[in-house]
Amino acid sequence: MSDPVTLHDIYLARQRLAGQAARTPLILSQSLSLRFEAEVYLKLETLQPSGAFKLRGALNKIASLSSEQLERGVTTASTGNHGRAVAWAAKRLGARAVICLSELVPANKVAAIEALGAEARVIGRSQDDAFVEARRLVAEEGMALIEPFDDPLIAAGQGTIGLELMEDLPSLDRAFVGLSGGGLLGGIGRAVKGVNPRATVTGVSMQRGAAMIDSLAAGRPVEVEEEASLADSLGGGIGLDNRCTFALVREVMDDHYRVSEPAIARAMLHFFEQEKMLVEGAAAVGLAAIEEHDIDIRGQKVALIVSGNGVDAETLMRARALIDYPER
């Protein structure tokens, strides 16, 4: 079986994204470097125009569509950031967009999608429920489905983060990447391993509802029950008919950690208080893993993929309360 995503695919994606998605900065965190006796770098996908890394994959996919497909519009199911990215890319390319979301998606992310001119449809209690509506739009209205992760063009678009990372820090020892459907980790892992096979790619998921990790443990894609989390962007299944990312993640990921809600909360508040950054839970899980599991990174050059800024004041208050009153 051929590779679902190659290094060549990622270079082609970068060509499509030129002038569209931002090349985001990689900055050294003085506070984290001092604390962990390492060089800890932050890859700031929070500075994408849509506020998250998802823009890369969405643009790469939508830019590949024919003019006839663009005229019929695009649709997707999303936990928030992908929907926002599809809405942004569709508006840029003049296509109608319908974004299907579950009831677990925070209201601020729904509002951000609508502000970009897309229609947001809230359907059911899971991403799988939302996908039923998206697939109906494909079947009945001929809209193009923009997969959140399980598409080689999506994963290749996210992989451009890995290219930038290795160009800016070719001596990278380890990258910590949030793991959900696998498009982000799979794409980054392919790029990083393609340049430096000795670099370690570490995935991080929330404690419960980690579909990819449960699927890897089972040896096949499995369903999981979604639960509310500060890292809501990491929710959702990987699809029982997963065609791309299950195999990709299994190949490029070296190790994995699950993190608790208090650990995610502490990491979010570190970014807010020490780095002066608004960072959503899914973007803070790399730091959460290092702290909660006491991972020894001394002397290493480490990158944390800070994947998105989709957080509001209410969520930050919940994070603070979780730390101050953990039994509540």
Give residue for tokens 């936990």: 79
Residue 180 appears among annotated catalytic residues? no
SS3 for 68-125, per residue? HHHHHCEEEEECCHHHHHHHHHHHHHCCCEEEEECCCCCHHHHHHHHHCCCEEEECCC
Burial class of residue 173, CB neighbours in 10 A (0-12, 13-18, 19+) = middle
Q: Tell me, what amino acid is at 73?
A: G
118/115 Cα distance (integer angstroms)? 7
Residue 61 appears among annotated catalytic residues? no
Q: Tell me, what amino acid is at 245?
A: T
Please tell me what DSSP assigns to residue 312: -
- Burial 6-38, CB ≥16 within 10 A → b, else e: ebebbebbbebbeebbbebebeebeebbeebeb
Catalytic residue among 29, 102, 126, 307: 307
Q: Which of 37, 39, 19, 20 is nearest to 29 (CA)?
A: 39
> Is the Cβ–Cβ distance between 320 and 272 less than 8 Å?
no
Catalytic residue among 43, 54, 193, 301: 54
249/189 Cα distance (integer angstroms)? 8
Q: Where are the alpha helices (DSSP H) in the chain?
A: 7-17, 30-36, 54-62, 67-72, 81-93, 107-115, 127-141, 152-168, 183-195, 211-218, 245-252, 261-273, 285-292, 313-324
Phi, psi of 317, rounded to the nearest 5 degrees: -65, -40
Active centre residues (catalytic): 54, 307
